[in-house]
Amino acid sequence: MNKKELVQKYPFLVKLGCTVYNLPNCLRIKKGKGNRVEAPRAMLKNVNIRISGTGNTVFIDDFTTLKNTNIYIHGNNNTVRVGKWTSFWNSEICMEDDGNEVSIGNHTKIMGNTQMATMEGTKILIGSECGFSTDIIMRTGDSHSILDMEGRRFNASKDIILEDHVWVGLKVICMKGTHVSRNSIIAAGAVVSGKFMEPNCIIGGVPGKVIKKGVEWCTPRIPVGSVAEEFYQIPKENA
């Protein structure tokens, strides 16, 4: 019996098992009043959640694993949502100001040293079945003001969006305003800002630009020159 079959057959026992697992595993929550933290059937180990403000929500969906993870919220009416069967390890979410959102889709793997930072009511939206390497930074703003010579600020914060099934390589930086379409790859070391609306592309370089079109990726390392569908069912366009 695989994990999903076990969940479907014994949902109460799975929820009880997750609760028992989480008790000794250094789950530290300081949320104040008027805030919600919900993770009824998630696996949490060395998770630190600190909330300052009101109306904030952290929701970790079923059968997701958080390990060595920090979530810091300073403001009001912010939302963190992590989807089902997702891994979020050795990473950090930071929010400042009001009305921000970080949403991570189902079956996404974020496995090491990723920082997501939102401010001024912006969003980081990560689709389903994405894969992250390590040492990745995503920031929707500059954390300071940049002014013209008349003292007017012009550096607005902007959303970051990665659609479904995007691979993010080693040491990538996604700056404010980034939007990457589905089934794409952000190459190692890229610094990305701006909109890349064509799917199935490789984006690389500093600044990031499309360096190859008509590509796809899958997790297993199949033999070079082989057809992926013989080894692994990759997501289909428009699926």
Give the domain ranges of the chain.
Answer: 27-230
191 burial via Cβ count (<10 Å: 0-12, 13-18, 19+): middle
Structure tokens at 50: 């600190």
3-state secondary structure of 28: strand
Sort residue 205 into left (φ over 0), alpha (ψ -120 to 50) or beta.
Answer: left
Fold type of domain 27-230: UDP N-Acetylglucosamine Acyltransferase; domain 1 (2.160.10)
pLDDT in tens, the chain (239 residues): 555 665 656 565 666 566 556 655 556 788 888 999 999 889 999 999 999 999 999 999 999 999 999 999 999 999 999 999 999 999 999 999 999 999 999 999 998 899 999 999 999 999 999 999 999 999 999 989 999 999 999 999 999 999 999 999 999 999 999 999 999 999 999 999 999 999 999 999 999 999 999 999 988 888 887 776 666 555 554 43
The CA–CA distances, whole Å, from 96 to 53, 74, 155, 160, 198 equal: 10, 5, 16, 16, 32
CB under 8 Å to 142, separation ≥6 — which residues?
155, 157, 176
CB under 8 Å to 33, separation ≥6 — which residues?
54
Structure tokens at 52: 């300052």
User: For 170, which DSSP code?
Assistant: T
